[in-house]
A and B are shown apart, each in its own frame.
Chain A
Amino acid sequence: MTNRKMKDAGVEPLLGYLLGLVGFVLVSEYIFQKSEFAKYFVILASLSVLFRLTDKNRINFLRSTFGDKVKNRIRLFENAILCLPFIAVLLSHSFFTESAALFLASMVLALVSFESNASFTIPTPFSKRPFEFAVGFRKSLAIILMSYAIMPISIRVDNLNLGIFSMALITFVALNFYTKPEPKYYVWAHASSPRTFVINKVLVASAHLSILVAPVFITLLAFFPTQFDVILFYSGLSFLFLWTIILAKYSAFPREIGLSEGIIIAMSIYFSPLLVALIPYFYIKSINKLKPLLDDSSR
């Protein structure tokens, strides 16, 4: 599936994997340079990837197609492959116990499956303005709660970096809500011009992200008042990244954000002033992409 997606985007799979690996190493090294709690981020990121493969329907499909024995072998193999880069990063920083624990966890996760309770609807503060945050919040509730759990630790150990990391993690989760394009119908249904549509998406997303990060932001301001400029800077950056990802999504619509856009966005993590150019660039591109669907006069 990943190979096919890369080919559709005009990228040789081998090159794609290579670039992905280089990007992964660069981002992890950056995190290790910036935070002493980087190992937790790596473990969390690895677990969130592994959890995605434990969906009950997927496991049932594997079981019915290959039988229990082969299904278990496939699951153990794919989990081992997936956690390998994360373990390599941990080992390169001499976190031996954590690496062993992660590997063990990946093997356990290979043999279980999870099914969300369909009859129970997770309440969300984003119900009034569906859909991205309402859907994303429910899908990522566990990782959002984990991110919140980091905040009191940052206060206890008196480490603002960790608090900022908690905010960054929530933002990262929220950015993930916008990585996949919705079916065309959900854009077409809007009685708006492309410009109004995009601006409205950005405004709603900003309001929703504010709700998500507010507990962390307010607590950090209360406990680290002298460093309010740092807190403000990083929260501002969160919103800039959110706007970038939304605009990037619609600049590629109806296809997914391509590798080239992904690389440019990844570069802006290293060099955030790039966002100042990226936002208007993606904005203009998204207006043009949405014209055929939203601007009736273009027919």
Chain B
Amino acid sequence: MIRVDELSKSYGKNMVLSGISLEFTKGRIYGIVGENGAGKTTLFKCIAGLEPCEGVVTSDLTPLKNNLGLLLTEPFFFSKITGKEYIRLLCNARKKENVDIDARNIFELPLNQYASTYSTGMKKKLALTAILLQENEYFILDEPFNGVDIQSNLVLTEVILKLKDLGKTVLVSSHIFSTLADICDEIYLLKKGAPIKAVQKDGFKDLEREMKAGTIGNKIDQLKLK
């Protein structure tokens, strides 16, 4: 369980998150959707403790950060570090020192090559593999499907569902609504730094329709395509 109480974050006068209170329970997958700049990434970083913010974040396992696998939208890799060394670095950081990395390389990454030479999708798969091998209890995945090929997306979906089966708490953001609808138990719609709607599985279709109507409106007509 992760509980977020009155979480706020601002950059100067720009309020990015305003008084967010949410609860994420064990064995469930939560989707976070919203426009670019709605505050998804900031919310994730604040929950993780990677960004300073106001409010309280509590969890049943403490400290939260030591049990949390965080996949950033654009993971950073040093220029001369191999894929295997990156995974080893993150596993060592969580005191998981004897992990058989080669045997658990489910995305078949060229682990002996420099990670900086990987494609966007490969980098994401590498970062994901690392946090999976850390054996965390909570996962925050910021746009995990972006840039990843269709085959790996299928594997990724199954991995996330497996995490749920194992009783882990998973928070996922994505701009691909259909994928989120397939895996999530609950979806929060974020707008201007605040959740404006929490929808359970049976309401996903309505949410998608609502978002579509609200976002598209008459914008296509405005283009006057001929």
Question: Footprint of B on A, CB under 8 Å?
Answer: 118-119, 121-122, 127-131, 134-135, 138-139, 182-186, 188-192, 292-293, 296-297, 299
Q: Chain B residues with Cβ under 8 A from A184's Cβ?
A: 50
Taking CB atoms and an 8 Å cut-off, the chain B residues in 79-102 that contact chain A are 79-82, 84-86, 88-90, 92-95
CB distance from B1 to the nearest CB of A (A): 16
Give the most central of A119, A134, A292: most B CB within 10 Å. Answer: A134
Residue pairs across A and B with Cβ atoms less than 8 A apart, 28 shown, are A119-B113, A121-B82, A121-B112, A121-B113, A127-B82, A127-B84, A129-B92, A130-B85, A131-B78, A131-B89, A135-B78, A135-B80, A182-B78, A185-B50, A185-B72, A186-B76, A188-B50, A188-B70, A190-B93, A190-B94, A191-B93, A191-B94, A192-B93, A296-B64, A296-B65, A296-B66, A299-B49, A299-B56
Judge if B62 is at the interface, Cβ distance under 8 Å: yes
Judge if B20 is at the interface, Cβ distance under 8 Å: no
CB distance from B172 to the nearest CB of A (A): 18
Residue of B nearest to A116 (CB): B80
Q: Chain A residues with Cβ under 8 A from B113's Cβ?
A: 118-119, 121
Find out whether the CB atom of B81 lies under 8 angstroms from the CB atom of A189: no
Find out whether the CB atom of A128 lies under 8 angstroms from the CB atom of B117: no
Judge if B167 is at the interface, Cβ distance under 8 Å: no
A191 in contact with B114 given A134-B85, A185-B50 (CB within 8 Å): no
B98-118 interface mask toward A, CB cutoff 8 Å, 1 = contact, 0 = none? 000000000000001110010
Q: Chain A residues with Cβ under 8 A from B85's Cβ?
A: 127, 130-131, 134
A130 in contact with B89 given A118-B117, A188-B48, A296-B49 (CB within 8 Å): yes
Q: Chain A residues with Cβ under 8 A from B95's Cβ?
A: 191
User: Which of A121, A127, A192, A296 sits near B62, CB closer than 8 Å?
Assistant: A296
A293 in contact with B80 given A121-B114, A134-B85 (CB within 8 Å): no
Q: In whole angstroms, what is the CA distance A118 to B114 when docked?
A: 7
Residue of A nearest to B117 (CB): A118
B68-80 interface mask toward A, CB cutoff 8 Å, 1 = contact, 0 = none? 0010100110111
Q: Chain B residues with Cβ under 8 A from A192's Cβ?
A: 93
Find out whether the CB atom of A188 lies under 8 angstroms from the CB atom of B49: yes
A134 in contact with B80 given A118-B114, A128-B88 (CB within 8 Å): yes
Judge if B198 is at the interface, Cβ distance under 8 Å: no
Q: Chain A residues with Cβ under 8 A from B93's Cβ?
A: 189-192
